[in-house]
Amino acid sequence: MGKKVGLIYGSETGNTEYIAELIQKKWGEDSIEIHNVADMELSVFEEYDLLILGVPSWYDGQVQDDWDEMLENLDDVDLNDRVIAIYGLGDQQDWGLYFIDAVGALAEKFTQEGAKLIGEWPVDGYDFIESQAINKKGNFYGLALDEDWQSELSDERIKTWIAQLKKELHELQQIAA
């Protein structure tokens, strides 16, 4: 087993970075390490039991630029059976046709490369038109956060999501043991 949890984020205006720090605080500071995807070694992807990936969506649902570049390099990383969870930042009101689309792009790419995705999240409580981040069960592939319109809900959502991730991770590790 490697180190416990690595969080990799990309961010244009700081929201996804801010949430990374909140997740770290709520998880327990000593057990989570934060990396900016713009400035890290590819080997980081192979160092942790759980990888949390933070991505904002920009301009009609595009993956944030630094993440976009990184996705092209992922073929050189062994992601087989690596456990990942994704959180996405978006704006459900002004960009409601593309709400957290980038989460869908990351989920697709990482699972194609063999990663195991945990931490799906219900769509209840959001008001958007369309999203490419919804799985076959009708849930978001990961945690959806909207710092533009629902920042007051982020704290509680993060708390609930972390408890869920810890539970899912524990169950996986029991199966593997």
- What does the binding site for ligand FMN look like in residue numbers (CB under 6 A)? 11-16, 56-61, 64, 89-91, 95, 98-101, 147-148
Considering the complex, state which of residue 79 and residue 120 has its C-beta at the smaller distance from ligand FMN. Answer: 120
Residue 88: CB minimum distance to ligand FMN, A: 7
Q: At how many degrees (to 10) do helices 65-73 and 101-112 cross?
A: 10
Residue 73: CB minimum distance to ligand FMN, A: 20
Residue 176: CB minimum distance to ligand FMN, A: 33
**Residue 4 to residues 19, 26, 81, 137: CA-CA distances in angstroms?**
19, 15, 15, 29
Considering the complex, state which of residue 120 and residue 147 has its C-beta at the smaller distance from ligand FMN. Answer: 147
State the burial class of residue 40 (Cβ atoms within 10 Å of its Cβ: 0-12, 13-18, 19+): middle
Q: Which of 108, 146, 143, 142 is nearest to 127 (CA)?
A: 146
The pair of three-digit structure tokens given for residue 29, joined into one six-digit string: 């500071």
Closest CB to ligand FMN: residue number: 90
Considering the complex, state which of residue 18 and residue 49 has its C-beta at the smaller distance from ligand FMN. Answer: 18
Considering the complex, state which of residue 59 and residue 152 has its C-beta at the smaller distance from ligand FMN. Answer: 59
Considering the complex, state which of residue 58 and residue 161 has its C-beta at the smaller distance from ligand FMN. Answer: 58
Q: Please give the Cα distance from 146 to 169 (Å, whole number).
A: 25
Residue 100: CB minimum distance to ligand FMN, A: 5
Residue 1: CB minimum distance to ligand FMN, A: 31
Evaluate whether 4 touches 50 at the Cβ level (below 8 Å): yes
